[in-house]
């Protein structure tokens, strides 16, 4: 099984076409999300997780040490 990654570069805008999708990490992109393959995730699970990550960043800010 492979994990699935979605990543974007900082300056590529909001278009869905700017998202790179694959089964390996993309070192050149600035933000990346990994979904664990075989974990039984569906679209709603992933969207809810992303909402929680967004809420965390909004209330705590972004920090590489957090």
Is position 54 within any domain?
Answer: yes
> What is the pTM for the complete model shown?
0.78
- Structural domains of the chain, count: 1
Burial 3-30 (b: 16+ CB within 10 A, else e): ebbbbbeeeeeeeeeeeeeeeeeeeebe
Is position 65 within any domain?
Answer: no
Q: Which residues contact 14 (CB under 8 A, 6 or more apart)?
A: none
pLDDT tens digits along 4-46:
999 998 887 788 888 999 999 888 888 999 999 889 999 999 9
Is position 66 within any domain?
Answer: no
Is position 23 within any domain?
Answer: yes
DSSP type of residue 29: S
Is position 49 within any domain?
Answer: yes
Is position 9 within any domain?
Answer: yes
Range of 31's domain? Answer: 4-60
């Amino acid at each position: 099984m492979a994990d699935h990654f979605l990543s974007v570069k900082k300056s590529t805008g909001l278009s869905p076409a700017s998202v790179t999708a694959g089964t390996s990490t993309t070192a050149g992109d600035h933000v990346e999300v990994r979904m664990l393959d075989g974990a039984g995730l569906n679209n709603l699970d992933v969207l809810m997780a992303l909402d929680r990550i967004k809420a965390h960043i909004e209330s705590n800010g972004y920090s590489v040490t957090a």
